[in-house]
Structure 1
Amino acid sequence: MGTDRMTAVVETDVAIIGAGPVGLFAVFECGMLRMKTVVIDALEEIGGQCAALYPEKPIFDIPAHPEIAGADLIAQLHKQCAPFNPLLMMGRRVDALRQEGDGFVLATSTGDTIRCKAVVVAAGAGAFGPNRPPLDRLAEFEATGGVRYMVSRREDFRGKQVVIAGGGDSAVDWALSLKQIAAKVTVVHRRDKFRCAPESAAQLKQAAERGEIELAIPYQLHGLEGEGGQLTGVSLATLKGEVKTVPADHLLAFFGLSMELGPIADWGLGLERSHIAVTPATCETTIPGIHAIGDIATYPGKLKLILQGFSEAAMAAHAIHPRVFPGEALHFEYSTSKGLPAAG
């Protein structure tokens, strides 16, 4: 599976925007129909939100996997589509898209030109990044990993003093997970009600009662302490102005993500509340030849599940086939019957 980091001019059958799980499965489905693919993603690594936000968190609703970590799911999808040798163009954003003849031309933020016969937008919720707390010296501690917005490797926190800020599922789930290996876990929240699964909230309360987790309520982040980029403490404050400092090697700030469609919003694809409306049977947008799948796509009855995105990838690939091979009849066959076609 090739990865291109140089400015390039590329011709392919299908350009897939987004290297998350649904985008990777679209590579496989297109490959099964002998269509060549290029995958473009703004992140440096494949996996989308699975890799960036919950690589070690288990997912329970993937068929045939009672439990699988986000990173492991991506690794398996990577292996599944590897025989078709897609070109991965990572660390760049698609800034412009225009029609040219029967196909399309895409321009990226790093100056690439991609010519294709069809486009699949599998960009999740668009470009995303963390909501950062308004703290002085934040960039200084971000650069050294003292302040983080996701957990890539749970082992990084073994024996460390960890402050977790936030009241949602991510904050509570990681507090419950890291208490097993961290020297100390402190959860900071402005109120005693958490926006997470009731069972998780109950487990957090029980862990606090056993002394396994310290709850700093009602507090908010106030400041960061340390020298040379090495975090040593997090200053907390109440709404009344009461301030205290908690020793910390790491601050995990879970205040959600800032999502934006970016240039996709200007492509005339029939947006509905920051989602792309598609025809359910083909996942085609208002522009013939451009399809949207996964979380970014919407239609009546849509469920935001990875498994539904997988189904949409298959439907989009079959709908695209006549554009790539006009006049060629497509006879549907099960993979058990035809196996894997040779990579183009």
Structure 2
Amino acid sequence: MNAAMGQTPLDIDVAIIGAGPTALFAAFECSMLKLSCVLIDALSEIGGQCAALYPEKPIYDIPGHPAIEGGALVAALDAQIAPFGVPRLLGQRVETLAGHRGAFTLGTDKGQVVTARAVIIAAGAGAFGPNRPPLEGLEAYEASGAVQYYVRRRADFAGRRIVVAGGGDSALDWALSLSDIAEKIFLLHRRDRFRGAPETLAQIEARVADGRIEKVVPYQLHALHGASGQLDAVEIIDLEGATRRIAADTLLPFYGLSTDLGPIATWNIDTIRSTVPVTPSTMETSLSGVFAIGDVATYPGKLKLILQGFSEGAMAAHAIHPIVHPDQALHFEYSTSKGVPAGS
């Protein structure tokens, strides 16, 4: 079920805000405990940052997978909850939250109303978007695809002359990855020092030596040149004000993400610097009946790893069970003995 559910109010046990990997696994855990749930996400597809930012980038710390691409991980998690028929409201953001433990009402920006006994906030870093460089005429180049902030399909960049701007992991990783298929990679940074693992930096130097990557330091972006959204050159400037033009048809600025809790910050829930403090044993927030998991949740010893988010989803689901079924004891069973619905 997608965002086309219309305006009919939806009554559910658990409303899960977010549809990234942590949210998907939380839906599985809730479903295994026979708690009905719905996934609500402002993005038009499930997967969160895995789908939006790095669907073709391998992840190395998912148990049982020496390496798995972000898109493949999302697909596997989606297949895992398929037997339960979990509805999802995509392309709409939860704007309002009212009520109390056992009886919450949520409203989205598309007019959808959801009533739920409990709420799980699995919103990742909150609403996120790229930090965009302050360049004149940027919008036209973004619209044409000449300027992009995410690499969804490597094949789209074959044969291109690409300026990769930034000095962190994303810039370095994509410069390396795309150097195999691009005509030329220009790696631009305002300093001659990059923030990356020693092995990554060594690989960069090797690609510089064989001519596939050219380091352009210390420079910053200054202007874009082209017509009708088609990029011909990227103008850069050094610390002394001297400019240089690089013939290029693609600019990939990797200056990090700007994050915002959005409406969550207005829901009378304690927050700390765009994160939500929780009780580690239950993942419950300061608002009884509302839980937070994944990157948005914080507590002493917190690790921002997908695998920890999976564990948090399981703990939240078990803590929610007595809210939904106060007179029913939860007899925990391993999935190997309990199984999942037929058709999985």
Contact 1:24 1:78 in 2 (8 A): yes
- 1:100 shift after superposition: 5.4
For 1:291 and 1:341, locate their aligned partners in 2 and report how far apart those are by CA, in whole Å. 26
Q: How far does the alpha carbon of each residue in 1:129-160 deviate from its partner, in whole angstroms, 9 at most, with x for none?
A: 00000001100010111100010000000111
CA distance in 2, matches of 1:331, 1:150: 45
Q: What is the aligned-residue RMSD (CA, Å)?
A: 1.4
Q: CA deviation at 1:273?
A: 2.7
CA distance in 2: counterparts of 1:338 and 1:90, whole angstroms = 31
Match of 1:3 in 2: 2
Number of the residue aligned with 1:283: 283
Map 1:206-245 → 2, pairs under 5 A: 206-245=206-245
Deviation at 1:7, TM superposition (A): 4.1
Which shows bigger deviation, 260-269 or 62-71?
260-269
Aligned to 2:12: 12
Q: Which amino acid aligns with 2:68?
A: I
Distance between the aligned counterparts of 2:129 and 2:240, measured in 1?
31
CA distance in 2, matches of 1:301, 1:104: 30
Judge conservation of contact 2:3–2:91 (CA < 8 Å) in 1.
Answer: no
Deviations 1:263-286, CA, capped at 9 Å, x for gaps: 111112221232111111111111
Taking only the aligned residue pairs, the percentage that are identical comes to 58
What's the counterpart of residue 155 of structure 2? 155
| Cα deviations by residue, 1:99-132 (Å, 9 ceiling, x for unpaired) | 1583100111111111111100001111110000
Equivalent residue of 2:4, what SS? coil
Offset of residue 92 of structure 1: 1.4
**Alignment check: 8 A CA contact 1:188 1:220 kept:** yes
Q: Any gaps of 5 or more consecutive residues in structure 1?
A: none
- Which residues of 2 match residues 285-300 of structure 1 at below 5 A? 285-300=285-300
Which amino acid in structure 1 is aligned with residue 207 of structure 2?
A
Q: SS at the partner of 1:72?
A: helix
> In the alignment, what sits opposite 2:33?
33
Question: Secondary structure of the residue that 2:263 maps to in structure 1?
Answer: helix
* Structure-2 separation of matches of 1:310 and 1:72: 16
Q: Secondary structure at the match of 2:244?
A: strand
1:183 aligns with 2:183: yes
Q: Tell me the SS of whatever aligns to 1:5.
A: helix
Query: C-alpha displacement at 1:332, in angstroms?
Result: 0.5
The aligned runs of 1:3-152 (5 Å cut-off) are 3-5=2-4, 7-8=6-7, 9-99=9-99, 102-152=102-152
Alignment TM-score, normalising by the size of structure 2: 0.96
Shift of 1:52: 1.4
* 8 Å contact from structure 1 (residues 18, 48) kept in 2: yes
**Structure 2 SS opposite 1:75:** helix
Deviation at 1:309, TM superposition (A): 0.6
Q: Deviations over 1:292-320 (max 9, x none)?
A: 00111111221111111101101111111
Q: 2-side partners of 1:101 and 1:336: how far apart?
A: 32
Alignment check: 8 A CA contact 1:34 1:341 kept: no
Distance in 1, Cα, partners of 2:90 & 2:141: 26
| Counterpart residue type for residue 22 of structure 1 | T
The one-letter code of the counterpart of 2:2 is T
| Cα offset, 1:6, TM superposition | 5.2
> Distance in 1 between the 2:303 and 2:277 partners?
13
Which AA in structure 2 matches 1:152?
A: R
SS of the residue 2:105 aligns to: strand
Aligned residues: 342
State the SS of the aligned residue for 1:117.
Answer: strand
Q: Is the 8 A contact 1:31 1:341 kept in 2?
A: no
**Partners in 1 of 2:342 and 2:89 — Cα distance?**
22
Structure 2 unaligned regions, length at least 5: none
| TM norm structure 1 | 0.96
Distance in 2 of aligned mates of 1:24 and 1:302: 20
